[in-house]
Each structure stands twice: as C-alpha cells, then as structure tokens.
Structure 1
Amino acid sequence: MPAKTKYDYKKLVRAELADMSQLLHSLTPEEWENPTLCEGWRVRHIAGHFVGGYSIPLPQVLWLLGVKYKFNFPRAAHEISTQCGEENSPATLLAEFDRWTTAKKHRGVATVGPMKEHFLDHMIHQWDITIPLGRPRQVPQERKIAALDTLVEIKGLTGMAPAGRFAAGRRLVATDVEWSWGEGPEIKGSTMDLVLALTGRKAALDRLEGPGVAGLRRDMLAKWNRGAPKPKMRPEKIVS
C-alpha cells in the first residue's frame, strides 16, 4: 500500500449516502425505533445525525461548536442528532435526508474536516443500524479496500477514534478481501470487524483473531482510561 492513499472521497461519500438512503427507505415503522450500536440512539437518531450534519449552515455549526458546546464535538453531535431525530417523523427525516445529501454541493459539518473520515463515518453508521436489525450489508469489494486503506490513516480529527494510531506496529489482515497492512503481531478479521474494532466498537474487537488482538485491546483501553472519549456502543452480536 502506498504511504498515502489516493481516493475520490467525495465520490465514496456519495456512494455511502446513496446506500444509506436505500436502507432508510426500506425500514418499517417499527425498525425506525430500533436500538443501534450507538448507545442511547435509535435508528431515527442516526438519521437525525445525517440530516443535522448536512442541513445546518456552517456558520451556525461553528457557533454551536464554539459557543454552546465549547468545542466538545461528541456532545454537540449527540445533542444535535437526538434532537433532530426526536423532533421529526421518519417521513420528514427521509425527505430531509434525500434533499440535503443529494444536493449538488454539500454543506454543514459534513464538509468540515478530512473527507476520508466522513466516508468511514458514513460506512460505520450503516453497520450501526444493520447489525442490530440482523441485516447483512453488501459492500462492494473495491469500497471495502478503500475503507481499509483509509482506516490506517485515520487520525480522529472529527471525533472518530484514531484508528491509524491503534493500527501502528501491528499487521492487519482482512479475511474477506485481498488486503493486508503493516508489520508486527497479526490481527485478522473481516473488513467490517477491522473497521468497527479500530474505531472503537467492542463487539467487533471481540471477533478479531491473532496474537495482536490482546495488545490492541490493551492500548485502546489505556487510551480511553487516559480521558479520551469512549465510544458508546451496544454489545449486540455482529452479523457479517
């Protein structure tokens, strides 16, 4: 793998948004109320996360982050997402999701920070929904490889766990695509489990195999115990 990957992240983001739209349109009224892997969030809150992220004008986003939330990104994301999800019906959330995510030019917090992190964020949030629902998600092979190449570069600038730091000093091997990276104690798993585990999903961490898993678990716990925000995830069984 080259030192830095070269992908059209705008195109990848739009592909993930199209898949998310298809998923949301397929949900029953009961499924909109289903818990997700994000603790305290139902499906409607993740939809609200996207709607808020793409609809709130950037100046308002900056004011909210700086003045109201004192640059506490996790708190801002949580409160804006849950409020948007609670105050709107599924029909309204769908309409607003499609309106803003298919716009020719995106706006809002979704345009702030590295686009590669938004790509991975969008992919992860679909698994946050589909795993508890027991709906296996079919991701194109080339997009899986793009996600894995991106994973090891993530620095956590948008509130995501710094997966690249956790991957350093280890050899990662995907079991569902031809991909490997790094040197050191080996960690093997599916694309989904590698991505979810290195971005803080404990349920996926438990599914990885290899001599490097114990060290990864230790380093992630140490990072969280030093005061880094802990991902709030539910321990549902992973569906591949």
Structure 2
Amino acid sequence: MDVDAKWRMISEQRVVLADLAAALPAGDLDRPSLCGRWRVRDVVAHVAFTPRSPGLPRILAAAVRARGDFDEVNRVMAVGHADRLGAGVAAELRAVAPLRDKPAITTLDNLVFDTLVHVQDVALPLGLEVTPPLDGLRAGAERVWRMGWPFWARRRLRGLQLVATDTSWVRGDGEPVHGSIRDLLLLLTGRTQAALPRLEGPGVRRLATT
C-alpha cells in the first residue's frame, strides 16, 4: 500500500466506526470494548482524538503522571475526550475522518493497524460483523509482527507459525495456528480471547493455556 492508499483506508475505517457508533442505542456506547477498561465510546473517542493530538509536551506530561504507562495515558485521554464529546462522539469522528494529521509519537503504518483493530474492538463485543480490507489487515499484521513494543508479538508467540487462511501471509516457526488475517491481527495485538474461538490448528491448544 502506498501512502495515499493507507490514508484512504484509515479515513474509510473511521467512517465505518462513526456509522457503527451512530447507529447504536445510547446504552451500548457504555458497554465494554475489547480494550480492557475502555468503553465503546472511549474507543471511538480515541480514534477521533488521534488526528487532533494535544502535542508532544502534553503527552509526555501525561506519561509522567502515569509513571511511564503509555497504555494508561491513552486510556485517560480517550475517556476524557469521550466524556467531553458525550452524545457527539460519532459526529466528531466523522468530521475528522479525512484528516491526515497524526501524533508525533506514532507512524502512518501504526495508524493503519490501530484504526483497523479499534473498529473490531467495538464491533465484536456488540456481536456485529465488520469486514475490513484485506490489504490493510495484511499490512497491519506485518507491521505488528516486525515491531517490538508494545505487543512483542514475535517473542510472545514464539514457537507458533501463524498462517492466514484468506490471504498470503505466513510468519513464525512451530505449531501452526490457522485463521483469517483479521483474527491473526487481533491475536498479534493481544486480543487473544477474542480471536481464539475462530483460530484452528495444533498451536491453538497452547494459546488457550496462556
């Protein structure tokens, strides 16, 4: 995927998430997402907040308050933005969907998988099926596989071979784990329990006990 294709996919997935959130009953916005301690509205707000980053100094100050826990920094910022937006969270996300700004602490490749995964963080707990673009999922899985922090996927999944069943993507050595590239991306980003029911192969037994 070239740069323009990546930004188009991010914009399209933001609209998908905005439409999904707008169609939900108000109570469903407060249901748990796949992200621990994040409500559905918090995930939507996080995606909306991304192109309007508060800037590196504020992010670093928040990191100091969170004692270096960037997961907590993201959560606090998402919850705060969600509470400020209230019922307007879907409209805000739709308004910022075309923007190509990003925080200084991330990359475009990170935004690709981040956006794709967060759509699933909302859809799956609500029992909704949203089909993401295969090229974006494949690029996202490759990026997460190659990066270290915060997922440490190669180390965490050592001894397993991940085999996508709907596109050409195989990584790792060991006991095979077969699944769609979407479910493998969920596994790579730590959403193991959400991905597990749809994965197959000898390696699944090990995943189920970790």
What TM-score, normalized to structure 1? 0.72
Counterpart check, 1:144 vs 2:137: yes
Query: How far off its partner does 1:212 sit?
Result: 2.7
> SS in structure 2 opposite 1:132?
helix
> SS in structure 2 opposite 1:89?
helix
Q: Who is 2:170 aligned against?
A: 180
Distance 1:68 1:202 in 2: 29
1:205–1:32 distance in 2 versus 1, CA, 3 Å: closer
Which of residues 135, 155, 159 is equivalent to 2:128?
Answer: 135
Counterpart check, 1:114 vs 2:107: yes
Counterpart check, 1:97 vs 2:93: yes
Which of residues 194, 200, 204 is equivalent to 1:209?
Answer: 200
Distance 1:119 1:161 in 2: 15
Query: How far off its partner does 1:205 sit?
Result: 4.9
Give the aligned residue type for 2:45. G
> SS in structure 2 opposite 1:84?
helix
1:75–1:28 distance in 2 versus 1, CA, 3 Å: same
Give the aligned residue type for 1:41. W
Could you tell me whether the CA contact under 8 Å between 1:170 and 1:182 is conserved in 2?
yes
Which of residues 146, 150, 161 is equivalent to 1:171?
Answer: 161
Identity %: 25
Query: How far off its partner does 1:127 sit?
Result: 0.9
Unaligned residue ranges in structure 1 (runs of 5+): 1-5, 222-240
Distance 1:94 1:183 in 2: 42
Give the aligned residue type for 2:188. L
Could you tell me whether the CA contact under 8 Å between 2:112 and 2:136 is conserved in 1?
no
Which of residues 22, 33, 40 is equivalent to 1:36?
Answer: 33
Could you tell me whether the CA contact under 8 Å between 2:162 and 2:178 is conserved in 1?
yes
Query: How far off its partner does 1:197 sit?
Result: 1.5
Query: How far off its partner does 1:216 sit?
Result: 5.2
Could you tell me whether the CA contact under 8 Å between 1:152 and 1:167 is conserved in 2?
no
Query: How far off its partner does 1:217 sit?
Result: 6.0
- Structure 1 or 2: larger helix share? 2
Q: Who is 1:236 aligned against?
A: none
Give the aligned residue type for 1:186. P
Query: How far off its partner does 1:66 sit?
Result: 4.4
Query: How far off its partner does 1:84 sit?
Result: 1.8
Aligned residues: 207
Unaligned residue ranges in structure 2 (runs of 5+): none
Question: What is the RMSD computed on CA atoms of the aligned residues?
Answer: 2.7
Deviations 1:103-151, CA, capped at 9 Å, x for gaps: 3x414x3x42232222112111111111111111122333333333333
> SS in structure 2 opposite 1:80?
helix
Deviations 1:155-181, CA, capped at 9 Å, x for gaps: 23xxx4122433555321112334333
Distance 2:112 2:151 in 1: 14
> SS in structure 2 opposite 1:36?
coil
Distance 1:39 1:146 in 2: 25
